[in-house]
């Protein structure tokens, strides 16, 4: 009698579990029909929409140098000029290891009375754009130049220094 009672309870519990399992299986099959994925796995409940790829996945925002220059910080440029001051003065006619940079913006290249130009700077004018190209890496811009300076890799550093030089 007692045994019968427990057997019935056990049977009931087993039966309930079986039904639960069946319901769960049914639900999984219903909700994840295509993948047969089991519960808990992430399945996107959406359609994949084909997006046209213009081949430009990474957007590179290139700010024109003129804009950088317009927004440049003359005081920051003056501080950065400390790197140049080892060889250059900003006084007219006062050359050091390098030629004076007084009014260099708009000046003809190789045009001061500095007696030691290497002859490897190009002919032309020191426009802001030309100075910018030069100061990225002088040795790349003018192979053989005697200006021993590694360059400023940061656009803003170059813009600030050129803005400072323009202000002289
Ligand atoms: C280690 C010394 C040294 C440093 C540092 C240096 N320069 Fe020069 N610079 C020179 C020399 C030397 C020349 C002459 C190059 C040649 O004739 O090839 C020169 C040439 C130049 C010229 C061309 C001048 C002309 O009359 O055509 C400019 C512009 C210039 N430097 C700007 C700068 C700026 C700006 C910095 C700092 C960011 C700087 N230089 C840092 C030594 C230096």
pLDDT digits (tens, 9 = 90+) for 44-100: 566 677 766 666 666 777 888 999 999 999 999 999 999 999 999 999 999 999 999
Would you say residue 111 has pLDDT above 60?
yes
Residue nearest to atom 28 of ligand 1 (CA): 101
pTM above 0.85, yes or no: no
Structure-token pair, residue 34: 């295509």
What is the arithmetic mean of pLDDT over 106-130? 97
Q: At what angle do helices 155-166 and 128-136 cross, to 10 degrees?
A: 140
User: What is the torsion angle, in degrees rounded to the nearest 10, for the CA atoms of residue 146, residue 150, residue 156 and residue 161?
Assistant: -40
Of 56-60, 110-114, 121-125, 147-151, least confident by mean pLDDT is 56-60
> What's the gap in Å between 117 CA and the centre of ligand 1?
10
pLDDT of the residue at 44 = 59
What is the arithmetic mean of pLDDT over 16-42? 64
Averaged pLDDT score across all residues of the chain: 85
Q: 27 φ, ψ to 5°?
A: -65, -45
pLDDT of the residue at 34 = 55
Which residue in 26, 1, 153 sits closest to 161, CA to CA?
A: 153
Would you say residue 33 has pLDDT above 60?
no
pLDDT digits (tens, 9 = 90+) for 135-155: 999 999 999 999 999 999 999
* Matching CATH number, 65-166, of 3.50.50.60, 1.10.760.10, 3.20.20.70, 3.40.1020.10: 1.10.760.10
Q: Where, residue-wise, is CATH 1.10.760.10 in the chain?
A: 65-166
Mutation to probe ligand 1, out of 98, 101, 164, 167 (largest number of atoms < 8 A from CB): 98
What is the arithmetic mean of pLDDT over 7-16? 70
What percent of the chain stands above pLDDT 90?
62
């Amino acid at each position: 009698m007692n045994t019968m009672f427990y057997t019935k309870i056990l049977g009931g519990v087993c039966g309930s579990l079986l039904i639960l399992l069946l319901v769960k299986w049914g639900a999984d099959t219903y909700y994840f029909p295509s993948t047969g994925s089991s519960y808990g796995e992430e399945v996107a409940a959406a359609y994949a929409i084909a997006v046209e790829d213009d081949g430009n996945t990474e957007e590179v925002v290139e700010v024109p140098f003129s804009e950088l220059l317009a927004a440049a910080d003359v005081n920051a440029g003056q501080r950065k000029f400390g790197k140049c001051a080892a060889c250059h003065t900003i006084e007219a006619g006062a050359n050091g290891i390098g030629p004076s940079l007084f009014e260099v913006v708009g000046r003809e290249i190789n045009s001061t009375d500095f007696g030691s130009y290497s002859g490897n700077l190009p002919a032309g004018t020191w426009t802001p754009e030309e100075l910018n190209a030069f100061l990225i890496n002088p040795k790349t811009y003018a192979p053989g130049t005697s200006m021993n300076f590694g360059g400023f890799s940061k656009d803003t550093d170059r813009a600030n220094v050129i803005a400072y030089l323009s202000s002289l």
